[in-house]
């Protein structure tokens, strides 16, 4: 059920409706929009006696949502969700494109700093890097753990980049939430429902990657799990699905971008690195992702891909990233988008080591 408030409804009237919903034993999710606020109701098994709510002051109408996903749906919120990062000009969703770049995994402070400097100079606003790596083989590099998170916190201080990193279970989620600006939930965990619920309690945006054989509805339902627990800052990410093709690691399903945008207000990014697994395909598919209307791209960049401890073959060189961002900038206006580059390093005052705050100390 969805309570649509009148455009002129006051905050007190919205609060009174939420209180009444909670009083009935359900959960209220106020979703403010440009024209009006809608309040999603979850926790009900069947139809709710709408008379109780319809009569409250400020209510325009109470409608039944027939789709399985409710809070992620455009029925609940017509306008695109835009996620802001206080203190920066970076956003995810809306008109401005988001560019996330960095290595698959953080391997050392030197490696992270070299790549971060290159991607910041090129204009990325976000730095990605795994601290906890979900690997196919238990013998493969598993990530540097909390040390990698500390390195990324230093990268944020020094280069002004916002940090995106993956949590692979509930234990690592608590740590990642402490350090990161965006919590990534990977393809392998897209249907780890207990982890999704926990991420729903976090106060940081969640970047949810599509499972490698997930349908559009399954992806939206996974996002619904996070939102139903109260975290409305969810970013979807297409990263390729398993098919019979063998010329790429996965098949990047770009058609999901307009399909998501039709049904949901949530931002959707594209990851052409995992989507193709091949360095030479990352630039063409990044261009295509922007052309198809994605809200941005997430790409793997490495200064020494031949020595990378994970995903070297799909990691582009820093020079290629410069090319990528220049091309994306040119395509952006064709699809009515803009590209605001992150802060250039030379404009940032280099932080002295003692000024590099540990996130826990802030
Ligand atoms: C990643 O982005 O580092 C990653 C592991 O991706 P995915 O979950 O899409 O495989
Ligand atoms: Mn990777």
Contact in structure between 12 and 24 (CB atoms under 8 Å): no
CA 108 to ligand 2 centroid distance, Å: 16
- Tell me, yes or no, whether 112 and 184 share the same domain: yes
Neighbours of ion ligand 2 (CB under 5 A): 104, 311
Please indicate, yes or no, whether residues 19 and 145 belong to a single structural domain of this protein: no
Ligand nearest to the CA of 210: 1
Looking at every residue in the chain, the average pLDDT score rounds to 93
Distance 310 CA to ligand 1 centre (A): 11
191: domain CATH number? 3.20.20.70
Domain-located, residue 78? no
Confidence at residue 243, expressed as pLDDT on a 0 to 100 scale:
98
CA of 129 to the centre of ligand 2 (A): 9
Between strands 234-238 and 206-209, the pairing is parallel
Residue 19 belongs to domain with CATH number: 3.30.70.1140
**Residue 223 Cα, ligand 2 centroid: separation in angstroms?**
22
Could you read off the pLDDT of 276-332 as tens digits, one per residue? 999 999 999 999 999 999 999 999 999 999 999 999 999 999 999 999 999 999 999
* 353 is a domain residue: no
| Residue whose CA lies nearest to ligand 1 atom number 8 | 186
What burial letters (b/e) apply to 277-303, b meaning 16+ CB within 10 Å? Answer: bebebbbebbbbbbebbbbbbbbbbbb
Q: Is residue 72 part of a domain?
A: no
Whether the pLDDT of residue 358 is over 90: the answer is: no
The residue whose C-alpha atom lies closest to atom 5 belonging to ligand 1 is 186
Distance CA 359, CA 362 (A): 5
Pocket test for ligand 1, best of 164, 212, 271, 275 (most atoms within 8 A of CB): 271
Q: What distances in angstroms separate CA 107 from CA 207, 307, 308, 348, one per listed residue?
A: 22, 10, 8, 25
CB 268 within 8 A of CB 256: yes
Same domain, 338 and 238: yes
Å from CA of 275 to ligand 2 middle: 10
Number of domains within the chain? 2
Report CA torsion sign: 263, 251, 237, 317: negative
Which residue has its alpha carbon closest to ligand 1 atom 3? 104
CA 257 distance to own-chain centroid: 14
CA distance 182 to 127: 10
Q: What is the DSSP letter of 203?
A: S
> Do 53 and 123 reside in the same domain of the chain?
no
Same domain, 34 and 98: no
Helices (H), the chain: 11-23, 51-54, 109-122, 146-159, 170-179, 193-199, 216-228, 256-263, 272-276, 279-292, 318-331
Angle of helix 146-159 relative to helix 109-122, nearest 10 degrees, comes to 40
362 domain-assigned: no
* Nearest bound ligand to the CA of residue 186: 1
Band (pLDDT 50/70/90 cuts) for residue 347 is low
Q: Specify whether 282 is located in the same domain as 325.
A: yes
CA-proximal residue: ligand 1, atom 6 (nearest) = 186
Q: Which atom of ligand 1 is nearest to the CA of 310?
A: 3
Domain coverage including residue 39: 2-63
Number of the ligand closest to the Cα of 211 = 1
Residue with CA at minimum distance from ligand 1 atom 9: 187
10 Å CB burial of residue 325 (0-12, 13-18, 19+) is buried
Q: Give the C-alpha separation, 164 to 83, whole Å.
A: 14
Ligand 1 lining (C-beta closer than 6 Å): 104, 130, 134, 166, 186-188, 209, 239, 274
CB atoms within 10 A of CB 95: 13
Average pLDDT, stretch 322-346?
A: 92
State what percent of residues in the chain have pLDDT above 90. Answer: 87
pLDDT at 331: 98
Using an 8 Å Cβ cutoff, are 166 and 184 in contact?
A: yes
**Burial 185-207, CB ≥16 within 10 A → b, else e:** bbbebbebeebbebbbebebbbb
């Amino acid at each position: 059920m969805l309570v649509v408030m009148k455009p002129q409804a006051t905050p007190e009237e919205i609060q009174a409706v939420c209180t009444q919903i909670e009083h009935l034993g359900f959960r209220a999710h106020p979703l403010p929009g440009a024209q009006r606020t809608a309040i999603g109701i979850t926790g009900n098994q069947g139809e709710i006696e709408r008379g109780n709510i319809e009569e409250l002051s400020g209510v325009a109408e109470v409608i039944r949502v027939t789709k399985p996903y409710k809070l992620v749906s455009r029925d609940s919120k017509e306008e695109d969700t835009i996620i802001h990062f206080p203190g920066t000009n970076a956003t995810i969703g809306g008109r401005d494109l988001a560019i996330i770049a960095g290595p698959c995994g953080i391997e050392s402070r030197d490696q992270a700093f070299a790549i971060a400097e290159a991607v910041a100079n090129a204009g990325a606003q976000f730095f990605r890097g795994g601290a906890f790596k979900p690997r196919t083989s238990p013998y493969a590099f598993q990530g540097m753990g909390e040390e990698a998170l500390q390195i990324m916190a230093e990268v944020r201080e020094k280069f002004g980049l916002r940090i995106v990193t993956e949590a692979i279970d509930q234990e690592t989620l608590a740590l990642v939430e402490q350090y990161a600006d965006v919590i990534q939930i990977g393809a392998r965990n897209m249907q780890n429902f207990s982890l999704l619920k926990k991420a729903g309690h976090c106060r940081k945006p969640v970047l949810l990657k599509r499972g490698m054989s997930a349908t559009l509805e399954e992806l939206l339902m996974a996002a619904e799990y996070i939102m139903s627990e109260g975290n409305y800052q969810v970013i979807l990410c297409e990263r390729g699905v398993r098919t019979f093709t063998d010329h790429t690691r996965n098949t990047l399903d770009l058609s999901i971008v307009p399909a998501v945008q039709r049904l949901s207000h949530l931002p959707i990014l594209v990851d052409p690195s995992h989507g193709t697994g091949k360095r030479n395909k990352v630039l063409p598919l990044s261009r295509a992702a922007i052309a198809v209307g994605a809200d941005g791209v997430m790409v793997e960049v490495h200064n020494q891909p031949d020595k990378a401890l994970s995903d070297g073959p799909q990691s582009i060189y820093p020079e290629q990233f410069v090319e990528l961002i220049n091309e994306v900038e040119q395509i952006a206006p064709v699809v009515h988008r803009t590209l605001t580059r992150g802060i250039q390093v030379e404009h940032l005052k280099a932080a002295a080591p003692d000024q590099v705050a540990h996130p826990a100390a802030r």
